[in-house]
Amino acid sequence: MQLENKVAFITGGGSGLGLATAKTFIAEGAKVMIFDFNPKSQEVADEIGAKFVQGDVSKAESVEAAVAKTVEEFGSLHIAVASAGVGGEGDVVTSTVENWERTNGIDYSGVFYTNKYVIEQLLKQGDGGVVVNLASMFGLVAVSNNIAYSASKGGVVNMTRAAGTMYAKEGIRVNAVAPGVIRTPLIDEPTLEQYANLHPAGRVGEAQEVADLITFLASDKAKFITGAIIPIDGGYTAV
């Protein structure tokens, strides 16, 4: 049990990578609060033995209230995973302003609000803690036909470095994982097929593989790792 008696707050925990992480955390002994926009996540949470709070990660007050509810429910907070996200669409010309604002509101500002309110709470508790942000391989290299996603994930990369070094002496670690294309409800079948051979590994990734990396980063085994961006992309960004 790598996370015995730890309390974890997981945004976007109702689906995909957040859900795989929630299940793995619970198997490792953690108590989990799922925060998600989709009210159906209540059923998912009940099924896996997590608690659920509904909200919108792109609204600062919603994230602040959800962090407070997690502490009220469990008494403290030790780990956060910022996995709420949307795909975005359109290149620098074809992206609408609405798409730009929505994608960055969720994938970029939402990660900031999560880090801000969680780290405020960790500092109050005075006993360290861990945040893992979901960046993407498209935060390390661009995807030309998706400007908002590329920009927001690039922002998450450097946000993680800044947040992960500011309170390192207080024992607060912030890292990001940068996945390649992973089989989740976010990715449609043609995209999975298109990307399988673009990864040097010759396939797309599985949610459990990302959940296992996040679990390692959240555990004490990773206690000297902070401000790091770890690719998990079958080699995509290595060549």
Ligand X SMILES: NC(=O)c1ccc[n+]([C@@H]2O[C@H](COP(=O)([O-])OP(=O)(O)OC[C@H]3O[C@@H](n4cnc5c(N)ncnc54)[C@H](O)[C@@H]3O)[C@@H](O)[C@H]2O)c1
What DSSP assignment string belongs to 64-118?
Answer: HHHHHHHHHHHS---EEEE-------B-TTTS-HHHHHHHHIIIIIHHHHHHHHH
* Catalytic member of 108, 113, 117, 149: 149
Residue 33 sits in the site that holds ligand X (CB under 6 A): no
The residue within the footprint of ligand X, chosen from 3, 6, 10, 14 (CB under 6 A), is 14
* Rounded-to-integer distance, Cα 155 and Cα 153, Å: 5
* Rounded-to-integer distance, Cα 36 and Cα 57, Å: 8
Q: Which residue is nearest to ligand X (CB)?
A: 16
- Which span (15-23, 67-75, 115-123, 168-176) binds ligand X, by CB under 6 A? 15-23
Smallest distance from ligand X to CB 160, Å = 13
Residue 16 sits in the site that holds ligand X (CB under 6 A): yes
Q: Quick check: is 149 catalytic?
A: yes
User: Which among 191, 214, 93, 105 has a CA at the least distance from the CA of 155?
Assistant: 105
Residue 115 sits in the site that holds ligand X (CB under 6 A): no
Smallest distance from ligand X to CB 5, Å = 26
Residue 17 sits in the site that holds ligand X (CB under 6 A): yes
Residue 194 sits in the site that holds ligand X (CB under 6 A): no
Residue 37 sits in the site that holds ligand X (CB under 6 A): yes
Contact partners, residue 88, CB within 8 Å, separation at least 6: 95, 99, 102, 103, 107, 146, 147, 148, 149, 152
Q: Are 177 and 217 in contact (CB under 8 A)?
A: yes
Smallest distance from ligand X to CB 4, Å = 25
Smallest distance from ligand X to CB 90, Å = 16
Which residues are known catalytic residues? 149
